[in-house]
Amino acid sequence: MASTPEEFRFGNFVGSLIWLILIVLIIISLVGLPIIFVILFYVPLPPVNGEILTPYLFLSMMVDPTRTLPIIKFLIHTHLFKLVVFPGFTFAALLAAATIFIERKFLAKMQLRVGPLYVGKVEGILQLAADGLKLISKEIIIPSGSDKPIFWASPVAFVAAAAAVTALIPVAPGWVVANISVGLLAVFAILGFFPLIALLFSWASNSKYPFIGGLRALHQMIAFEIPFFLSALSVVILAGSLNLTDIAKAQHPFWFIFFLPISAFVFFISSLAELERVPFDLPEAESEIVAGWLTETSGMIYGLLQLGTYVKLYALAALFVVLFLGGWAGPQIFPQELIPGYTGEKIYNPVTVNAIFWFTVKTFGVIMLFLLPRGINPRIRIDILLHTGWYKLIVLSFINMFVALALIYGGVLGPGGLLTR
C-alpha cells in the first residue's frame, strides 16, 4: 500500500529553520572563532586609524560596531576583495546562478509550463542548489583515447576567461577590478579565446560530435567577430576612449543607444552568436550533433562549463550596458543617510549604492533580452549564419560608424559638441 506524503506545515518549516540557525551558530562559536583566532597570529594585520591591529584588538572590534567599520572599509577596498567578491567573480557567479533559475522559470511561463516547482517549496527556488549538488556527486567520465591534460584544463580555462572579462567591467565609479586604458580591446582579446577553448576541448574529447561542434564554434567566431568589433568601434568614436569607465562617463546626459541604435542591434546579435544561444546555438545543436562540443562532458566538468557560459552571459550583458546604456547612470533614489541621525564612521555611500543598483537593474534587463529568443526562435542553418555575419551585420556596422563620424565632425557630440556642453 502506497504511503501518503507528509503534509507540509509552515510551523514545522520555521522550527527546523531555527534549529538549523542555532546549530550553525554553535559550530561557529565552538569551532570557527577559535580557528580564526589562531590564524590571526600568523597573518599580518593592517594598521587602522594609526593603531596597530592585534588579534585581541581585532576580536574586540568584531563586537564593537564603532570599531568594526574601519576594518570593513579597509577590507572592501582591497584589490583582493574586488577580485574575489565584488565586483569580481563571486558577484558575477551569483548573478549567473540567479540567471539560470530565472531562465528556467521564464521560458516555462512563455511555453505554458510550470518549470522547477518542488525543491525548496517556494517555486522550486532551491532547484539550482540541488542540481549543483547532483553535478558535484556525479562521476566524471573521461573518454578513452582522449587527451586528458587538455580535457581537464579546458573547463577551468573557460571559467577563467569568463572571470577575466568580468574583471574589466566597471559597475560603479571606482568599482572595477582592472581599470586599464585599453579595456575594450582587452575584452575582445579575451573573448577570442572562447571558440579556441571549445575547439581544443572538442578535439581532446576524441569524439566526432564534439569536434563538429568545436568547428562550428570556430565558424561562428569568424563570421561574427568583425561586426562585433565594428559595432563597438562606433562607441569608441563617440567616447574618444577605449577605457570602459570613460565610455560610461561619456554618456552623460545622453546614452549612446539613442545615436547608435544600429550598432547596439549588431552588438546584441553578435553577442547571441558569441554566447552560442538560440538562434545561433549550432555548436550545441542537440537535434543534430547530440550536444555539440559538450557531448562528452559529465559531472563538474559540465558544471564548470555551464558556470563559465552564464558568467560570460553576465559579462556581455554588462558590457552592453556600459557601451550603450550609460553604465551605472540613473536618478538618485537612495537616501543620503541609511540610519538617520547616525554621525559615526559610515560604510554606506549613497552615490555608489545608487550606481550599483542601476547597473544591476540594466544588466538584468539586457540578460532577459538575451534569454528571450530561446523561447520564440528556431535554430538557423549554418549557411544563413555565415551570410548574416559576413554580408548583413558588417554593412550595418559600417553605416552606424559613419553616423558616429558625422555626429563628431558635425559638432553634435564629442568635445565641445552641442549636446555635451
Task: State yes or no: pLDDT of 1 exceeds 50.
Answer: no
Residue 353 lies in a domain: yes
Average pLDDT, the chain: 84
Lowest mean pLDDT among 64-78, 270-284, 328-342: 64-78
Residue 403 lies in a domain: yes
**Average pLDDT for residues 156-181, to the nearest whole number?**
92
- Number of folded domains that form the chain: 1
Residue 371 lies in a domain: yes
Residue 346 lies in a domain: yes
Task: Answer with the residue of higher pLDDT: 352 or 381.
Answer: 352
- Tell which residue, 314, 373, 318, has the closest CA to residue 96: 314
Kindly give, in sequence order, each residue whose CB lies less than 8 Å from that of residue 109, ignoring residues fewer than 6 positions away.
115
- Tell which residue, 78, 105, 87, 104, has the closest CA to residue 360: 87
The 3-class secondary structure across the chain, one letter per residue, is: CCCCCCCCCHHHHHHHHHHHHHHHHHHHHHHHHHHHHHHHCCCCCCCECCECCCHHHHHHHHCCHHHHHHHHHHHHCCHHHHHHCCCCHHHHHHHHHHHHHHHHHHHHHHCCCCCCCCCCCCCCCCHHHHHHHHHHHCCCCCCCCCCHHHHHHHHHHHHHHHHHHHCCCCCECCECCCCCCCHHHHHHHHHCHHHHHHHHHHHHCCCHHHHHHHHHHHHHHHHHHHHHHHHHHHHHHHHCCCCHHHHHHCCCCCCHHHCCHHHHHHHHHHHHHHHCCCCCCHHHCHHHHCCHHHCCCCHHHHHHHHHHHHHHHHHHHHHHHHHHCCCCCCCCCCCCCCCCCCCCCCCCCHHHHHHHHHHHHHHHHHHHHHHCHHHHCCCCCHHHHHHHHHHHHHHHHHHHHHHHHHHHHCCCCCCCCCCCC
Q: What is the pLDDT of residue 389?
A: 83
Residue 342 lies in a domain: yes
Percent of the chain with pLDDT over 90: 29
Q: What is the pLDDT of residue 73?
A: 77
Percent of the chain with pLDDT over 70: 86
Burial of 81 by CB count in 10 Å (0-12 exposed, 13-18 middle, 19+ buried)? middle
Measured CA to CA, the distance from residue 93 to residue 320 in angstroms comes to 18
pLDDT tens, 67-107?
A: 667 777 777 888 888 888 888 889 999 999 899 989 998 98
Q: What is the pLDDT of residue 243?
A: 94
pLDDT tens, 239-278?
A: 889 999 999 998 888 899 999 999 999 999 999 988 988 8
Kindly give, in sequence order, each residue whose CB lies less than 8 Å from that of residue 75, ignoring residues fewer than 6 positions away.
81
Lowest mean pLDDT among 65-74, 192-201, 208-217, 383-392: 65-74
Measured CA to CA, the distance from residue 378 to residue 283 in angstroms comes to 14
- Bridge-partner residues for 48, per DSSP? 51
Contact 122, 333 (CB under 8 A): no
- Tell which residue, 263, 220, 192, has the closest CA to residue 380: 220
Burial of 29 by CB count in 10 Å (0-12 exposed, 13-18 middle, 19+ buried)? exposed
**Average pLDDT for residues 387-409, to the nearest whole number?**
87
Q: What is the pLDDT of residue 32?
A: 78
Residue 159 lies in a domain: yes
List the domain range (segments joined by +) for residue 133.
89-409
Q: What is the pLDDT of residue 35?
A: 81
Angle between helices 208-239 and 299-324 (to 10 degrees): 20
Cell of 340: 538617520
- Tell which residue, 233, 249, 175, has the closest CA to residue 398: 233
- Among 74-83, 173-182, 346-355, top mean pLDDT goes to 173-182
Residue 419 lies in a domain: no
User: Taking CA 361 as the corner, what is the angle to CA 418 and CA 245, rounded to the nearest 5 degrees?
Assistant: 50
Q: Other C-beta atoms within 10 Å of 39: how many?
A: 10
Contact 268, 320 (CB under 8 A): yes
- Tell which residue, 374, 400, 85, has the closest CA to residue 230: 400
Task: Answer with the residue of higher pLDDT: 137 or 319.
Answer: 319
Upstream peptide bond of 87 is cis (omega within 30 degrees of 0)? yes
Residue 192 lies in a domain: yes
Task: State yes or no: pLDDT of 338 exceeds 70.
Answer: no
Q: Residue 410: pLDDT band by 50, 70, 90 thresholds?
A: confident
44-77 burial, b for 16+ CB within 10 Å, e for fewer?
eeeebeeeebebebbeebeeeeebbbbbeebeee
Q: What is the pLDDT of residue 341?
A: 54
Task: State yes or no: pLDDT of 308 exceeds 60.
Answer: yes
**Average pLDDT for residues 342-353, to the nearest whole number?**
72
**Average pLDDT for residues 402-411, to the nearest whole number?**
86
Please state the pTM of the whole predicted model: 0.84
Kindly give, in sequence order, each residue whose CB lies less than 8 Å from that of residue 70, ignoring residues fewer than 6 positions away.
48, 49, 61, 345
